[in-house]
Chain A
Amino acid sequence: MMDSIKVLFEYVAIFFICYMLVYSTFLFLSVTVGTSVLYKQLQRRQMKNELQHDYYIPISIIVPAYNEDVTVVDTVISLLNSKYQLFEIIVVDDGSKDNTSQALIDYFELNPIERPIRKLIPCMPEEACYLGYRDNIQITLIRKKNGGKADSLNMGINASQFPYFICMDADSMLQDDALEKIIQPVLENRDVIACGGLINIANGVTIKNGKVIKYKLPNNILIIMQALEYNRSFLASRIFWDQFNGNLIISGAFGLFRKDMVINVGGYDHDTLGEDMELVVKLHSFCRSHQIPYSIKYEPDAICWSQVPETMSDLIKQRRRWHLGLSQSLWKHRNLIVNPKSGIVGLTSYSYFLFYELLSPFIELFGLLTIMLAFSVNIINVQFMIIFYLIYAGFGAILSLTAFFARIHTQNLKLDLFDVLKVISLCLLENAGLRLVIAFVRMTSFFRYKKKKNHWGEITRQKMNIDL
């Protein structure tokens, strides 16, 4: 009996060593590549490697909103502060129960209008349309029956006039140069069909006329830990995947898409919680299977400031939603992993998201159970285990710090000493604490699948620090 347990543990150990090695290597590579790309981008900016013109390609900006009366006006103001010259703003109010529509109507003096909307992709019917202009920029507000975020985005696509559209959240602010930066990959390469922007955490940041005038980390440790996580897991890894067209996610908070391609794939999926990821995976799948040359880019110079949950319960809600979205997207497009046409996307990106994102909570649970079993039969070297765990957490913490400071330096943001100390002291807690909590949340997310279907991820919004 003991012998067979020992054999079992040997196999388990081999599996975990391989699993951790691959993950650590990925983490190391993504942070190294991400950091070097950020420094290269900074050098590019300093050496005027830019495609700057007065008139770019016209863009429709779609802002889906549900119960966003606290932030939606600020979001539209931040868009109007953009240096970009050719764009329209479409806010889609998905049947909010608060004063989202009224706040916009009052502030921007919008007028009711009978607008015919061509439904190229399915969405719930509109209840009312409003129109107004600020600095010659057309602002459209469409109030429709509640149908979820994907449905609102589809309505926005249907109502948009221009060949490219941007989707963004109603609690986000764009930097004044974000639009001209996000369109640059399109000007560089005709095959670009989508491009994601960099999402920075807005909590604690003060923005004036589309520029950051004060960058201060809040006292809430949950937000600081999320800032570290965003830089390590999202910024660095997306830059890494971008090197070989392997990004499977463009954040719903800020992304640019070619409208005809999105319409070709049927728009955003109503049945998926992670509609942003599902769309990108669908675009990969569609282009690969139809052998259409395409490129999905990530542009870290295009910066969007977005609010993150300030309480643990909001964070849990958000992560549950994300994990369900991930599982739905991967399941829906499972052909990517078996279809030889999928190439690098199927082989690496899809496999990574499957084994290191979707299944990782279960693998981690399995790891914990084997440790407990090993402990009970007294075949575990506790001292070694603790050292190994601490080194691993330290490894993750240092990578988080590297990615965080690389972003701070390359975006010319200034941190005071107190903020630096806060970040350094919390990076270990983020790796050893928050990661485990999130892993648990992801593991249990499937239990609430039915209840959560088609709902907006409701988190408590704060008024943004936007200086008019």
Chain B
Amino acid sequence: MIITVEEIVYIYIGVCISMLIFNVFIIFFRKSQYKRFKTRTRDISKLIDVQLEHIARKQPIKRTIQIKLDKMLTAPNKLMAFHEAIEAALEQDAVVVQQYLLLSRPLFGSLAVKYMQKDDIRKAYFAYLMSRYKVCKDIEQDEIINSMLQLIDTKSAYCRENALKALYSFGNEKNVLSAIMLINKNEIFHHEKLLSDGLLSFEGDKARLGALLWEHFNEFNNDIQVSIVKFLHADSDQFKEELYSLLIRQETNKEVKVAIIRYFGKYVYEPMYHFLHTTLTEASDDWEIIAISATVIRAYPTPASIEALKIAMHHSNWYIRFNAAETLNALRKNYNELASIYNGTDRFARDMLLYQDQRTRIKAQAQQQEAVRV
């Protein structure tokens, strides 16, 4: 079949007209969508208000309304309107609304099954709402929790993240462990930063979560191990012994070691004196370990530490010199104590020390000015 030039022109005209129609359609569709959203929100608010009144009067909520909502909220647009209505109600009386949400767990359980059949954007939205509403607080087994765990194994990072947030907000450590086990088993990439920050938002007993994660620590890949150590770093000084024994093990991954050394920057542990001094003074190829040790040693301010830092100041690696100089300044060592560097022949060490000294002063001055401004 041969297409003539005229036919091509007609095709062009057709495409132009379709695009024009598309543009006009989108403009009007979005305007009407907004109006409909406002109407829906009002309608749903009325239903919610009835239930809130029942709760305020200590009466059971109306089953018919819940059944109606179950049917309505299957549509994502209506679920969004429900969300808008709940957010507005939360501003009025958070306690009663939270009670209503907890009583609506069967409704959300039924919706969870339906939303798991939808696309990733909608699944993630449902998970987000669960993280906001915390309807499974302190519950171990439930349809909603199963759905959240199901979402961990999806391609979408948003589904996974929102499902994790929901599990953190429910506050059950066993479910969080199950989620992380799934990530580990299926070799799913979930950024270490998201994981460690997320664990910190856990709303249950963090000590119990820490203990449970530690129990399974060796089963996890290095990325997850780093996240767990960061979580422990922020929250618990109960793992000094365990982490130290992991640190001195040769086969431990370098990133994990770095995270552990940071942990000991916050929680001082006697055997770390020796570890840090040895790391800073003995030759090694692991510059990352030496660099972080040069920072962490400020939590162990002894004359021996200062001497170790002075040695590190002559290291060929830029980051090690940078951190060592920063620590020496943080420890506020005076000119006499550091004279060997200031008057020495190593220009790199001297320049770095001078820079960190000036930097500390400028920062302190800026903080003072900021305080005055405030």
Q: Is the CB of A395 within 8 A of B12?
A: yes
Q: Is B367 an interface residue (CB 8 A)?
A: yes
Which residues of A are found within 8 Å of B12, using beta-carbon distances?
A: 24, 391-392, 395
Contact with B along A13-48 (1 / 0, CB 8 A): 100010001001000100100000001100110111
Which residues of B are found within 8 Å of A294, using beta-carbon distances?
A: none
Which residues of B are found within 8 Å of A53, using beta-carbon distances?
A: 193-194, 197-198
Which residues of A are found within 8 Å of B339, using beta-carbon distances?
A: none
Which of A44-98 touch B at CB < 8 Å? 44, 46-51, 53-57
Among A132, A190, A388, A398, the residue within 8 A (CB) of B19 is A398
Quick one: given A47-B125, A113-B359, A395-B12, are A401 and B23 in contact (CB under 8 Å)?
A: yes
Contact with A along B148-160 (1 / 0, CB 8 A): 0000000011100
Q: Is the CB of B5 within 8 A of A17?
A: yes
Among residues of B, the one whose C-beta sits closest to the C-beta of A188 is B157
Q: Is the CB of A47 within 8 A of B351?
A: no
Quick one: given A51-B158, A398-B19, are A46 and B26 in contact (CB under 8 Å)?
A: no
Contact with A along B1-25 (1 / 0, CB 8 A): 0000100110011011001101100
Q: Is the CB of A48 within 8 A of B9?
A: no
Quick one: given A21-B8, A48-B124, A187-B193, are A116 and B19 in contact (CB under 8 Å)?
A: no
Q: Is B363 an interface residue (CB 8 A)?
A: yes
Contact with B along A332-372 (1 / 0, CB 8 A): 00000000000000000000000000000000000000000
Among residues of B, the one whose C-beta sits closest to the C-beta of A185 is B157
Q: Is B173 an interface residue (CB 8 A)?
A: no
Q: A47-B128, A132-B362 are in contact. List 15 more A-B contacts (CB 8 A).
A: A17-B5, A17-B8, A28-B15, A47-B80, A47-B124, A48-B124, A49-B124, A50-B158, A53-B197, A56-B193, A113-B362, A114-B351, A116-B351, A188-B157, A387-B9
- Can you list 30 A-B contacts with CB-CB less than 8 angstroms, sorted by A residue number? A17-B5, A17-B8, A47-B122, A47-B124, A47-B125, A48-B128, A49-B124, A49-B125, A49-B128, A53-B193, A53-B197, A55-B193, A56-B193, A109-B369, A113-B355, A114-B354, A114-B355, A118-B318, A133-B362, A188-B157, A189-B157, A387-B9, A391-B9, A391-B12, A398-B19, A399-B19, A401-B23, A402-B22, A405-B27, A409-B27
Among residues of B, the one whose C-beta sits closest to the C-beta of A161 is B322
Q: Is the CB of A409 within 8 A of B30?
A: yes
Report the separation of the CA atoms of residues A111 and B358 in the bound assembly, to the nearest whole angstrom: 9
Contact with B along A385-420 (1 / 0, CB 8 A): 001100110110011011001100100000000000
Quick one: given A28-B15, A113-B362, A133-B366, are A46 and B354 in contact (CB under 8 Å)?
A: no
Report the separation of the CA atoms of residues A394 and B158 in the bound assembly, to the nearest whole angstrom: 40
Per the CB 8 Å criterion, the residue count for chain B at the interface is: 47
Q: Is A135 an interface residue (CB 8 A)?
A: yes
Most chain B CB within a 10 A radius of its CB, from A44, A50, A116, A401 = A116
Q: Which A-B residue pairs are the 3 nearest by beta carbons?
A: A133-B366, A47-B125, A49-B158
Which residues of A are found within 8 Å of B359, using beta-carbon distances?
A: 113, 131
Report the separation of the CA atoms of residues A399 and B362 in the bound assembly, to the nearest whole angstrom: 54
Which residues of A are found within 8 Å of B15, using beta-carbon distances?
A: 28, 395
Quick one: given A56-B193, A116-B348, are A398 and B121 in contact (CB under 8 Å)?
A: no
Q: Is the CB of B9 within 8 A of A116?
A: no
What distance in Å separates the Cβ of A38 from its nearest Cβ neighbour in chain B?
11
Q: Is A115 an interface residue (CB 8 A)?
A: yes
Q: Is the CB of B16 within 8 A of A398?
A: yes
Q: Is the CB of A409 within 8 A of B157?
A: no
Which residues of B are found within 8 Å of A135, using beta-carbon distances?
A: 370
Report the separation of the CA atoms of residues A44 and B122 in the bound assembly, to the nearest whole angstrom: 9
Report the separation of the CA atoms of residues A53 and B365 in the bound assembly, to the nearest whole angstrom: 30
Which residues of B are found within 8 Å of A40, using beta-carbon distances?
A: 121
Report the separation of the CA atoms of residues A175 and B20 in the bound assembly, to the nearest whole angstrom: 31
Which residues of B are found within 8 Å of A189, using beta-carbon distances?
A: 157, 189
Among A24, A118, A188, A402, the residue within 8 A (CB) of B23 is A402
Report the separation of the CA atoms of residues A43 and B158 in the bound assembly, to the nearest whole angstrom: 13
A interface, how many residues as a size bin? 35 or more
Q: Is the CB of A409 within 8 A of B26?
A: yes
Which of B58-100 touch A at CB < 8 Å? 76, 80
Which of B113-155 touch A at CB < 8 Å? 121-122, 124-125, 128
Among residues of A, the one whose C-beta sits closest to the C-beta of B198 is A53
Q: Is B183 an interface residue (CB 8 A)?
A: no
Which of A94-152 touch B at CB < 8 Å? 109, 111, 113-116, 118, 131-135
Among residues of A, the one whose C-beta sits closest to the C-beta of B361 is A111
Which residues of A are found within 8 Å of B348, using beta-carbon distances?
A: 116
Q: Is the CB of A187 within 8 A of B128?
A: no
Report the separation of the CA atoms of residues A91 and B365 in the bound assembly, to the nearest whole angstrom: 21
What distance in Å separates the Cβ of A137 from its nearest Cβ neighbour in chain B?
10
What distance in Å separates the Cβ of B286 from its nearest Cβ neighbour in chain A?
17
Report the separation of the CA atoms of residues A405 and B60 in the bound assembly, to the nearest whole angstrom: 50
Q: Is the CB of A190 within 8 A of B189?
A: yes
Q: Is the CB of A51 within 8 A of B121?
A: no
Which residues of B are found within 8 Å of A406, using beta-carbon distances?
A: 26
Report the separation of the CA atoms of residues A190 and B193 in the bound assembly, to the nearest whole angstrom: 12
Q: Is B352 an interface residue (CB 8 A)?
A: yes
Which residues of A are found within 8 Å of B189, using beta-carbon distances?
A: 189-190
Which residues of B are found within 8 Å of A39, using beta-carbon distances?
A: 26
Among A51, A56, A114, A187, the residue within 8 A (CB) of B358 is A114
Q: Is the CB of A46 within 8 A of B80?
A: yes
Which residues of A are found within 8 Å of B121, using beta-carbon distances?
A: 40, 43-44, 47, 49
Report the separation of the CA atoms of residues A135 and B363 in the bound assembly, to the nearest whole angstrom: 11
Which residues of B are found within 8 Å of A131, using beta-carbon distances?
A: 358-359, 362
